[in-house]
Structure 1
């Protein structure tokens, strides 16, 4: 199914007022397991001395990670890049309302062509690379755009199942190709490490996310609600009650996934250093 129409529908609800937008970001922070992993990595980078970074949010989407980084690194300067003009305009308006226009700028950028030589201390790429066929070119552009000592932080599906992108395991629910926008099923952990090293990165650290607890949480918190919303917009009325029931369980599962290492998993968290 197509994920973007569901995201647009949710965006229309929460974009009516900055207060609702902040609530939306907070909900995403708690519901999305990838957000738990990224928060952990960003806090770790801050404790390691990343205090006033120049940041590229490469594929900024709704802007939730840009918002979090603007708060975690209040002295930072952030360029948030995306290819969807409506989201860029919407996010610029929101951050202007917050009084953060001097700190944060959203702009159009095709990541296969975008470079800004030796500019960024941190490049963030969250669930972006699985949408781009020319990934090696993007990795090269990231490398060229980073300062010496900079870090690239990536979240992307692995080849151990991804986000059910091409449901090869034929689950009993019969869903095939849950996310149609992906151009690959997911990265082999060795393959993405090799591609990043070939792009020039001196050190690459990759680990699995979405282990057993994370996979259960993802189905409860994201997959099944999205499938129901895709079947009928009436589920919007029931959605708050559904999450009241499942959220405590999902939060516990997310905590377990972030707190433990996994020998396999359907997601990858990758850090690459220049």
Structure 2
């Protein structure tokens, strides 16, 4: 299953005005459980009350988290890095329209080659590392690019089924729900070992998307995306579908983030230089 065609379709709908795009960001913040976990970590950073922060969003995509960070820290300077030129141009245009381009900028960057030595206080990487084969090279580049004491926040699928790659039809040659990943996900100890080799310390890992979160994901993401990949006509009934299902998905998300999970299909990692 491919996410990008759906992303492009949604982008066309919500990118018509800055107000619609901000509304879209807020919908994603409510809908995506990983956004709940990421915003919680970013709020912890904001409570440190550093006067200024220089931030790299490594794999910025739509710019959802850059918008949130620019709202959270008025003196935060944010660089969004991505490999999709069209998305970079789109994000730069949007942040210019909302008059935040003086502190939020997007540029092309191949993370396997990108190094800005001793530059960033915080590096955020959301659902990126599972797409990059040379992950240890990227971790080393992150380390070199961070200031001493800087913080790294990673959200990625775990190896407990986070890419939903293994299912009953796999033996027939049918791909899993997400077929854009180079690995099924990370084991908590495996990613710790790799980050230690890069030089990081104080590495904390926690599983996300436990039982409640996994049900929410299937209800709020997996089924709608599969339906949209089958027929674009599902866009017509999508608002009604979410009106009916989102209250339950919201409750499940709240349950998930309120618990500590021994295992889960997602993984949050926080480390320091």
The answer to whether the 8 Å contact 1:197/1:203 transfers is: no
Instruction: Tell me which residue corresponds to 1:107.
Output: 107
Instruction: Tell me which residue corresponds to 1:212.
Output: 211
Runs of 5+ in structure 2 lacking a partner? none
The 5 Å alignment of 1:63-142 reads 63-142=63-142
The whole-number CA distance in structure 1 between the counterparts of 2:46 and 2:193 is 27
The whole-number CA distance in structure 1 between the counterparts of 2:269 and 2:205 is 4
Q: Please tell me whether residue 224 in structure 1 is matched to residue 245 in structure 2.
A: no
Normalised by the size of structure 1, how large is the TM-score?
Answer: 0.96
Instruction: Tell me which residue corresponds to 1:183.
Output: 182
The answer to whether the 8 Å contact 1:167/1:175 transfers is: no
Deviations 1:162-187 (A, max 9, x none): 131x124669xx97411111000000
The whole-number CA distance in structure 2 between the counterparts of 1:168 and 1:197 is 33
User: Aligned-pair RMSD on alpha carbons?
Assistant: 1.4
Normalised by the size of structure 2, how large is the TM-score?
Answer: 0.97
The answer to whether the 8 Å contact 1:51/1:73 transfers is: no
SS of residue paired to 1:186: coil
Q: How many residues align?
A: 271
The whole-number CA distance in structure 1 between the counterparts of 2:82 and 2:28 is 19
Shift of 1:24: 0.4
The answer to whether the 8 Å contact 1:159/1:188 transfers is: yes
Shift of 1:74: 1.1
Return 123-132 or 51-60, whichever deviates more: 51-60
The whole-number CA distance in structure 2 between the counterparts of 1:143 and 1:170 is 40
SS of residue paired to 2:111: coil
The whole-number CA distance in structure 1 between the counterparts of 2:91 and 2:47 is 28
Instruction: Tell me which residue corresponds to 1:238.
Output: 237
Q: Please tell me whether residue 192 in structure 1 is matched to residue 183 in structure 2.
A: no
The answer to whether the 8 Å contact 1:160/1:266 transfers is: yes
The answer to whether the 8 Å contact 2:163/2:181 transfers is: no
Instruction: Tell me which residue corresponds to 2:55.
Output: 55
